[in-house]
Amino acid sequence: MSLPLEQPYLPMEAETADSIPTGPEWQYEPKWDGFRCLAFRDGDHVDLQSKSGQPLARYFPELVEGLLSLKAKQFVLDGEIVIPEDGNISFDELLLRIHPAESRIRKLSKEHPSMLIAFDLLVDAKGKSLAGKPLSERRAALDEFAADYFNGNKLVALSPVTRDIEEARGWFRTMGGGLDGVVAKNSELPYESGKRAMLKIKNMRTADCVVGGFRYASKGKLVGSLLLGLYNEEGQLDHVGFSSSIKAADKPAVTKKLEALIEPPGFTGRAPGGPSRWSTERSTQWEPLAAKLVCEVQYDHFSGGRFRHGTKLLRWRPDKAPAQCTMRQVAKESKSPLLLLA
């Protein structure tokens, strides 16, 4: 028995769009905030493959066991690995799994088990490739596959789908804590491996932040990134992320403005962290600032007390008092995305 898709088999990806497309050919799914994964089962062997074609199985042993427990002996599922945490989805817990020590991974897999949210079926339980079929047929086959094999398995779930544009807009507006937008897929298309043949519409948000510090660029004495802070409930300024989207022409003036405000401690609560596997000695150094500068930034997701990605600097806000820059701006006002799976 062997699968008809040769590994690595790159997943179909999405390009960014400004708005949700409409029309009878479109179907909509939540955009989950996890690790994209193709799950291959061939008899007693399971492979988990990342978006870039790298193996993931060693980092998620509980998910391998969960997929082996399905009665279907062969299949290829496309989906997203997430880790439920306190009713939401924790990307921070996912990052902790990418660890060199097997003992650490095993411990985390028991304390915070992952799950695969499946949204496409590329090889069915009979070993037949569905990649050349239109999405409408693949999704119908996935629904049938899930009904036959997912019941009672807490490590595998079926991602919701809708043709109703208003329902998709509802997800876009109200679902947070693990959803950061909507994916639109043309139901008439086959699975186009490695191509950006879908659309992703991300729910971008803005927040006013105190600039609690900055880092110089790796070369020279110009600013490289702003270190952003928000006040917590105890009135302490927590470091919550960074923004490096400063126009080159503006950097000399911005650097001069920042250097005039250098004053410790900068952050009175959680401060910028130390070295990581990706950082250099220079990149971990930062200059603390008096809490006087406020800027507005655009972000796509906030979790674990920080912006998940770098933010986009929109403008300076001299009209805003630093004390107004609180965590309440990014407090979750939405339902858990896990409710969609109920």
Catalytic residues: 31
Q: How far is CA 181 from CA 28, 133, 195, 202, 311, in A?
A: 10, 26, 20, 4, 16
Alpha helices in 112-250 (DSSP H): 135-149, 165-174
- For 238-293, the DSSP string reads EEEEEE----GGGHHHHHHHHHTTB-S-S-SSSPP----TT--TTTT--EEB-TT-
Q: Which of 81, 91, 2 is nearest to 48 (CA)?
A: 81
At 117, which amino acid appears? I
Query: Please, are residues 159 and 36 in contact by the beta-carbon 8 Å criterion?
Result: no
Query: Please, are residues 223 and 255 in contact by the beta-carbon 8 Å criterion?
Result: yes
In terms of DSSP bridges, do strands 179-186 and 156-158 run parallel, antiparallel, or are they unpaired? unpaired
Q: How far is CA 161 from CA 101, 156, 195, 226, 268, in A?
A: 37, 16, 21, 39, 45
Q: Which of 96, 33, 116, 85 is nearest to 307 (CA)?
A: 33
CA distance 224 to 245: 9
Query: Please, are residues 168 and 162 in contact by the beta-carbon 8 Å criterion?
Result: yes
Query: Please, are residues 57 and 46 in contact by the beta-carbon 8 Å criterion?
Result: yes
CA distance 125 to 76: 9
Q: What are phi and psi of 217, to 5 degrees?
A: -65, 160
Query: Please, are residues 205 and 178 in contact by the beta-carbon 8 Å criterion?
Result: no
